[in-house]
Structure 1
Amino acid sequence: MAAIEINQINLSFPAKQGQQQVLEDISLVLEQGEFVVLLGPSGCGKSTILNLIAGFTHPDSGKVHCQGKSIAAPGPDRGMVFQQANLFPWLTVRDNVSFGLRMQGAAPERVQAEVQKFLQLVGLQAFADHYPWQLSGGMKQRAAMARAWLPNPDVLLMDEPFGALDAQTRLMMQELLLSAWQQTGTTILFVTHDVEEALFLADRVLIMSAHPGRIVDEVRLPFGRQRDIETLVQAEGYSEIKQRILHRVRSEARRHLNN
């Protein structure tokens, strides 16, 4: 059974003159444990696809399923990491990370054990009793990742979570994410504008068209899962695949500007 299945989704939003088509005939399947990246011009609907899977919004037509069940609302089987960490400033890292599990009424012993596990997974065990204002941007995003991962979701949805970080911190976060994903086996759908980030992280890259958003290309990456950024750029086929993806993304971006 696929982790996520989207069948012929169409979605429009109200506009000054009628309806504005946002997504057009979107179909995709995420297999169990897969890491898929969405690339495309700004405004093409990448984040909207995440919101549909999260259950924050609903399509005009088509179906969205998680583990074979129709998605009607948000649920613990789908975690979400946003562009900003959105931590509660009055709670410690430990309490931020455990918030969802505590709201579900989990036993304190389970909460404590799970929090410790995921703080170690993202390297924040030494900062469990710090408050968000005491953390760097990268550390805040690590806490947000742990919070989303703690309920053990089937699917983790990530909306440009490293976009606001400096280059070195961003690379560290990418490496940490890959390590955590390989340990948990969670299915991940990741939105980015960064082609190199997509090449480093993904099993598959899905390229979206300019408005209205459609999936216009799919690239399966042949680099294996044990990736190191310094050697990846020298891998056979890396330059050609990067050029192909860049060309397609830039073509769609130019078309978007000319519309």
Structure 2
Amino acid sequence: MTGQIALEKVSLTFAAKPQPLNVLEDISLTLAKGEFVVLLGPSGCGKSTILNLVAGFTRPDSGQVLADGKPVQRPGPNRGMIFQQPNLFPWLSVLDNVTFGPRLGRYNKEEVNAQARDWLARVGLKGFENHAPWQLSGGMKQRVALARAWLPGPEVLLLDEPFGALDAQTRLMMQELLYNAWLATDTTLLFVTHDVDEALFLADRILIMSARPGKIVEEIVLPFGRERDIETFAEHPQYGEIKHHVLHRVRQEAKRHLS
């Protein structure tokens, strides 16, 4: 199986003055192939650090991070990442930004360009292939970043608050685009957000983290199924109860963080 992720008793401390900062403590979690898991928790609890560990940007002090049963030692093409800012190259066209990764190695230009154009069409950017990033809105730039991350066909996609800087309507649209792309590809997704509504709409499971040092304090398996419509989603009979519970738990941990 490809796309499986596991953290086994992972702890991490950052060197800092006047004393070291204990960021993660005894984190264990698993993601099955094709699963969509969201991390929720107060600021500074280590959510983004978990993404960096899975990506291979950071190594744990203890425990291990596994991708398909093998220890993660470094970044790799099987694990893509999308950040809050799209980080496009301003001197490249939209198409060249999307194909940047494959162009670093040996590749078939016609094939890669065709795949890139297909992804741009999927995210609603057909006809913008030759535009420069400065000609795009914030939401359009993030759609380019989405196409760029998915083009190489990663088994795992890591998303660090990718829609946090967008306005409310654009954010809803991006959530739908991401959700539909995920359903079409069966990629394993690990997503960080502070937005409870976003987590409820997107996730198969929500993992709630404690205040620093970050631990997994609750797992919530969502009962909504995968056929979700963003306009009618909140009408599910269990939506209100689950949202109230998640908000309460997250606020509890946020208050602990501030105390």
Counterpart of 1:44 in structure 2 is 45
Aligned-residue offset at 1:88: 0.1
5+ long unaligned stretches in structure 1: none
Q: How does 1:1-259 map to 2 (within 5 A)?
A: 1=1, 3-258=4-259
Aligned-residue offset at 1:110: 2.1
Measured in 2, the distance between the counterparts of 1:225 and 1:111 equals 30
Measured in 2, the distance between the counterparts of 1:39 and 1:60 equals 23
What one-letter code is carried by the residue in structure 2 that aligns with 1:177? L
Aligned-residue offset at 1:244: 0.7
Aligned-residue offset at 1:57: 0.7
Measured in 1, the distance between the counterparts of 2:109 and 2:234 equals 46
Measured in 1, the distance between the counterparts of 2:136 and 2:220 equals 37
What one-letter code is carried by the residue in structure 2 that aligns with 1:94? L
Q: What SS class does the counterpart of residue 20 from structure 2 fall into?
A: strand
Measured in 2, the distance between the counterparts of 1:37 and 1:239 equals 18
Q: Provide the TM-score with structure 2 as the length reference.
A: 0.98
What one-letter code is carried by the residue in structure 1 that aligns with 2:133? P
Q: What SS class does the counterpart of residue 9 from structure 1 fall into?
A: strand
Q: What SS class does the counterpart of residue 181 from structure 2 fall into?
A: helix
- CA deviations on 1:42-98 (whole Å, 9 max, x unpaired) are 000000000000111100011111112211111100000000000000000000000
Measured in 2, the distance between the counterparts of 1:172 and 1:230 equals 11
What one-letter code is carried by the residue in structure 1 that aligns with 2:250? V
What one-letter code is carried by the residue in structure 1 that aligns with 2:115? E
Aligned-residue offset at 1:125: 1.8
Measured in 1, the distance between the counterparts of 2:255 and 2:19 equals 25
Measured in 1, the distance between the counterparts of 2:235 and 2:170 equals 22
5+ long unaligned stretches in structure 2: none
Measured in 2, the distance between the counterparts of 1:105 and 1:84 equals 28
- Which stretch of the first structure deviates more once superposed, 8-17 or 114-123? 114-123
Please identify runs of 4+ aligned residues in structure 1 that moved more than 2 A: none
Q: What SS class does the counterpart of residue 252 from structure 1 fall into?
A: helix
Aligned-residue offset at 1:18: 3.3
Percent pairwise identity: 66
Aligned-residue offset at 1:197: 0.3
Aligned-residue offset at 1:229: 2.1
Measured in 1, the distance between the counterparts of 2:112 and 2:216 equals 40
Measured in 2, the distance between the counterparts of 1:173 and 1:18 equals 40
Measured in 2, the distance between the counterparts of 1:126 and 1:184 equals 23
What one-letter code is carried by the residue in structure 1 that aligns with 2:22? Q
